[in-house]
Amino acid sequence: MKATWEKLRKPSAILEHSSAQLPLFKRHKCKQDGRDLFIYGTRAHTLPWQEELPPLRFSPESHLRWHPLRQEWVCYAAHRQNRTFKPPLAYCPFCPTRTKDVPTEIPCSDFEVAVFENRFSAFALEAQQTPELSIASAPAIGQCEIVVYSPFHEGSLGSLSLRQVELIVRVWNDRYQDLMARESIQFVMPFENRGEEVGVSLHHPHGQIYAFSYIPPVVAKMREAFREKPVLQELRQTMGREYYIFNDRAVFAFVPPFQRYPYEVWLTTHEFHPGLWTFSQAEIHSLASTLGKVVRLYDRLFNRPCPYIMLLYAAPKGEQKHFQFHIQFLPVLRAADKLKYLAGCETGAGTFLADMLPEETAAQLRRLSHEEL
């Protein structure tokens, strides 16, 4: 398929409003195995395509099985067992293909942000046959994408320029619109796993996007809470300034008074927004700036790269009137050399045992943030 360039100005029909006021370019390539690759930039990238990784020799097959006690789906994707695991730097699949000797997932010598379907995806947009079982099962319909933040192998959201982080936010926005426009998709979740402590097997700066054909159980509980009342707006008015870490006219970052992970931080907006697609350009700029500040703050906390899970929560389909967009950072360090483990009480009962008071961690992060500024 011939690669195409598109200058993005208008959202897809399913979503209202657009935040893309500055130039945003998107180049498309269909890979040899049929997966989509998108190169995003603030300028048109016209470099010739290089050699890419050859297609896999097997057909991925996934399906869902219903867990009757937990009342949730479990996804089975046996082909992921042999996915790429900590390759040497010279064989990083997320670096640009700069020589013909080492092809990668991104077959061009340079880019700003790249997005492509996961080579070892747990979901597929086209329904696959499910095995005949004695329990309820279903096709694992959805999409799994990789978002490569930068062509450089080292770095993080905290070390990238504000312009680059802002571009990543706008890429998330475009992927929300594209994926939510698909009839089978009900919820889209960008996220980042950072650090080997949370299972990262590829160290090139990147995140992921999962698009679900159903509402996952954690999000279903959020949906019910937001339907009942504007949880985050009420929290902002009642929790007190002692929980704030960063705050400007558009976005604020705070330690939730009910934190489960040590040094947990949430980001949301003063105004109600169901997703990035209703953000103004100023709000996108503010969000990008705050994201970078939070990651730099984490890295200064113990003078080492802080492992975390970052989760973006936007409204599922049909919930735009109630569900407020927010980001959760879940760090797993409780000290420089101590991890927060999910053990019996957390895993078996769903009750977190917190070792630190939210008020104390908020005060510590706020002092550190003042030093940074």
Residue 140: partners with Cβ closer than 8 Å, 6 or more residues away: 62, 63, 64, 75, 76, 77, 122, 123, 124, 128
Residue spans of beta strands (DSSP E) within the chain: 4-7, 25-30, 36-41, 63-67, 72-76, 113-117, 137-139, 142-148, 187-194, 206-212, 244-247, 251-254, 265-269, 308-313, 326-331, 333-335, 338-339
- 206 among known catalytic residues: yes
Sheet holding 137-139, edge to edge: 72-76, 63-67, 137-139
Cα separations (Å) of 127 from 41, 124, 159? 33, 7, 40
Cα separations (Å) of 118 from 146, 148, 182, 194, 230? 6, 11, 18, 17, 35
Task: Report residue 271 CA to chain centroid gap.
Answer: 22
Q: Token match 């399906």: residue?
A: 63
Q: Which of 45, 63, 206, 285 is catalytic?
A: 206
Residue 131: partners with Cβ closer than 8 Å, 6 or more residues away: 63, 137
Strand 244-247 with 206-212, pairing: unpaired
Distance CA 289, CA 162 (A): 6
What are the backbone dihedrals phi and psi of residue 189, each rounded to the nearest 5 degrees, phi first? -135, 105
Asked if 169 and 288 touch (Cβ cutoff 8 Å), the reply is: yes
Cα separations (Å) of 150 from 39, 43, 154, 235, 358? 11, 15, 9, 35, 34
**Which tokens belong to 191?**
């996220």
Distance CA 200, CA 307 (A): 9
**Which tokens belong to 252?**
């604020």
- Residues serving a catalytic function are 206
